[in-house]
């Protein structure tokens, strides 16, 4: 008898005997065949043997059936099988598994694999499993009354449990987010104050340079310094800023207020108006930042010398575009403040609450149901920084206009309380929005630590004239609205002085005297704001340096990770 065929028959008999005694998983006999197939081959295995060979074969069969399952590798292959891999390599029967793999596989896993390989084949083990799956009624009642203990389970992506996800959304996201948004608010405030303090000084330097040399193009051999691109940019920005302030001063806030009030009573809801204003605020802010960048590049190319007429056209077009966007954005912030004023003064006491709920939850609906990655989340966080600063300027405008209309020098406590409610609702909605976004998109709170690190590193290399680029903030529009607020206060004070001292009335009619008074107020305001700006700017720099250094040390030590 050939050795290969003899070994095949030995393996068949060994598998059948041990499978019947549960020494191997039941599914072992169903690998590429069933028990009937093996038994039919075992029944016909002695047809070609003579008497002596049959006697020897039956003796080997009984020895295979009586032996116990081996405990080590030497006893396991005592029947002539010396290597675990030799069984698979030498046998050509349907059983193509290595015996060494059997103890490492559970019977349940093997049964599932066998059913998946041939689901149409009937199996007694499969039938028994289906019967066991049918839970009796008594077992069902017992399971309902005595539930099994629930242990924490970790997800497959970050390995965090349910408790981690809850505390991430409740504690860690608000803490990390508020640190980032507060630092971004300081950046916006520093850039905002630079418009009133640093920009006038730079404009004076540019004007002195322009006075020494009337044309911008440098001449060969000329000792007078020519006007640089940044100086030309400062002059154009100041000119467009003054035009924007004049445009906002011409707007009648009372007419806008009553127009919104009538519109709200007739057919359009106040929530729709506020939502439209908020959307256009983000659009104009984004376009405004890009327009300032384009104007800066055009000024640099124009001041480089040898500028043709085409570059002059580009410069004029960029300046006109920046002026239009600046004026429209300032008017939009004014309309946002008027929308809040309409809600505050509404006869319906729940008008302000309805406005906050509608606007804020529409913002949640527009963000949390979308797929966000960390890069988009950073853009959203920058928008929240800018939105908070715009909200402060708009509420300040509302308070001053209310003081002007009522003739008081102090704001009403109820009005300040309503403004605090609006700002607090904005903070709460930002936290809820980012917490839900992180949960739905599986973003860990530590990503805000990485955002903070990036913002601090960018802030270290920026100055007041370009620090607004870090958070995509356009400082001229809110600065123009703030000037509108200051002018309102100054006009009211002049009116009070004229009423108290009629002798000053004749002097106030003089245009020259009005210009002198305006310049005096401007110088006094600059004297007050200049030290504040220097302290704030230096504090932001030191805070950025310390925060970036601390975060980098944490990353190197492994205490936190970018997504932990």
How confident is the prediction along the chain (564 residues), in pLDDT tens digits per residue?
Answer: 555 556 556 655 655 555 444 444 444 443 444 444 444 555 555 555 555 555 555 555 555 444 444 444 444 434 443 443 333 333 334 334 433 344 434 444 554 555 455 544 555 555 556 656 677 888 888 888 887 776 666 665 555 666 676 777 778 888 889 999 999 999 999 999 999 999 999 999 888 887 776 654 444 445 555 778 889 999 999 999 999 999 999 998 888 888 888 877 655 677 788 888 888 999 999 999 999 999 998 998 888 876 566 678 889 999 999 999 999 999 999 999 998 888 888 766 566 767 777 776 777 776 666 777 777 889 889 999 999 999 999 999 999 888 888 777 788 888 888 888 889 888 888 888 888 888 777 777 878 888 998 999 899 888 888 899 999 999 999 999 999 998 888 775 555 444 444 444 444 455 566 667 777 878 888 888 899 999 999 999 999 888 878 877 776 665 554 445
What is the per-residue pLDDT for 560? 54
Give this prediction's pTM.
Answer: 0.69
What is the per-residue pLDDT for 275? 83
Residue 420 tokens, joined: 């605090």
What is the per-residue pLDDT for 72? 44
User: 381 and 448 in contact (C-beta within 8 Å)?
Assistant: yes
User: 335 and 393 in contact (C-beta within 8 Å)?
Assistant: no
**Residue 252, H or E segment:** none
What is the per-residue pLDDT for 193? 94
Q: How far apart are CA 29 and CA 19, in angstroms?
A: 7
What is the per-residue pLDDT for 247? 94
What is the per-residue pLDDT for 349? 56
Helices (H), 501-510: 504-508
CA 488 from centre of chain: 39
Q: How far apart are CA 408 and CA 404, in angstroms?
A: 7
What is the per-residue pLDDT for 28? 42
User: 385 and 181 in contact (C-beta within 8 Å)?
Assistant: yes
3-state class (DSSP) for residue 360: helix
3-state class (DSSP) for residue 223: coil
Closest CA to 21 of 63, 65, 76: 65
What is the per-residue pLDDT for 534? 92
What is the per-residue pLDDT for 185? 94
Number of helices (H), then strands (E), in the chain = 22, 0
């Amino acid at each position: 008898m050939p050795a290969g065929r003899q070994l095949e028959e030995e393996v068949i008999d060994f598998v059948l005997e041990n499978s019947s005694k549960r020494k191997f998983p039941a599914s072992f006999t169903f690998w590429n065949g069933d028990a009937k197939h093996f038994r039919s081959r075992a029944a016909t295995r002695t047809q070609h043997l003579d008497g002596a060979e049959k006697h020897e074969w039956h003796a080997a069969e009984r020895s295979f059936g009586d032996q116990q399952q081996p405990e080590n590798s030497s006893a396991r292959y005592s029947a002539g099988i010396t290597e675990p891999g030799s069984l698979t390599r030498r046998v050509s029967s349907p059983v193509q598994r290595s015996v060494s793999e059997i103890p490492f596989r559970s019977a349940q896993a093997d049964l599932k694999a066998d059913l998946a390989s041939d689901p149409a084949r009937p199996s007694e083990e499969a039938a028994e499993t289906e019967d066991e799956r049918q839970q009796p009624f008594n077992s069902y009642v017992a399971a309902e009354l005595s539930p099994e203990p629930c242990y924490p389970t970790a997800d497959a992506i970050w390995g965090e449990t349910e408790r981690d996800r809850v505390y991430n959304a409740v504690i860690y996201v608000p803490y990390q987010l508020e640190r980032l948004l507060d630092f971004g608010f300081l950046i916006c405030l520093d850039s905002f104050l630079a418009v009133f303090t640093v920009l006038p000084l730079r404009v004076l330097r540019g004007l002195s340079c322009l006075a020494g040399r009337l044309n911008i193009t440098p001449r060969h051999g000329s000792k007078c310094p020519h006007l640089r691109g940044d100086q030309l940019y400062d002059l154009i920005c100041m000119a467009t800023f003054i035009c924007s302030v004049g445009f906002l001063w011409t707007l009648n806030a009372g007419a806008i207020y009553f127009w919104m009030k009538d519109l709200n009573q007739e057919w359009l809801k106040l929530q729709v108006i506020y939502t439209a204003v908020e959307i256009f605020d983000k659009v104009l802010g984004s376009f405004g930042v890009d327009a300032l960048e384009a104007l800066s590049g055009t000024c640099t190319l124009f001041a480089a010398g040898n500028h043709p007429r085409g570059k002059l056209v580009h410069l004029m077009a960029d300046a006109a575009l920046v002026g239009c966007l600046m004026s429209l954005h300032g008017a939009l912030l004014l309309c946002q403040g008027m929308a809040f004023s309409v809600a505050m003064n509404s006869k319906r006491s729940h008008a302000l609450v309805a406005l906050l709920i509608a606007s804020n939850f529409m913002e949640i609906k527009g963000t949390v149901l979308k797929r966000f990655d960390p890069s988009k989340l950073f853009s959203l966080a920058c928008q929240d920084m800018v939105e908070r600063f715009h909200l402060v300027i708009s509420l300040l405008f509302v308070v001053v206009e209310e003081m002007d209309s009522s003739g008081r020098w102090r704001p009403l406590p109820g009005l300040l309380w309503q403004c605090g409610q609006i700002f607090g609702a904005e903070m709460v909605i930002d936290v809820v929005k980012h917490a839900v976004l992180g949960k739905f998109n599986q973003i860990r709170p530590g990503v805000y630590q990485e955002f903070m690190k990036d913002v601090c590193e960018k802030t270290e290399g920026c100055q007041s004239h370009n620090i607004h680029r870090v958070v995509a903030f356009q400082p001229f529009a809110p600065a123009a609205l703030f000037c509108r607020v200051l002018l309102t206060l100054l006009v009211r004070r002049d009116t009070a002085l004229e009423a108290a001292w009629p002798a000053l009335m004749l002097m106030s009619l003089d245009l020259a005297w009005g210009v002198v008074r305006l310049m005096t107020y401007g110088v006094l305001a600059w004297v007050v704001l200049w030290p504040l700006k220097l302290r704030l700017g230096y504090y932001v720099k030191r805070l950025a340096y310390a925060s970036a250094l601390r975060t980098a040390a944490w990353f190197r030590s492994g205490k936190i990770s970018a997504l932990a």
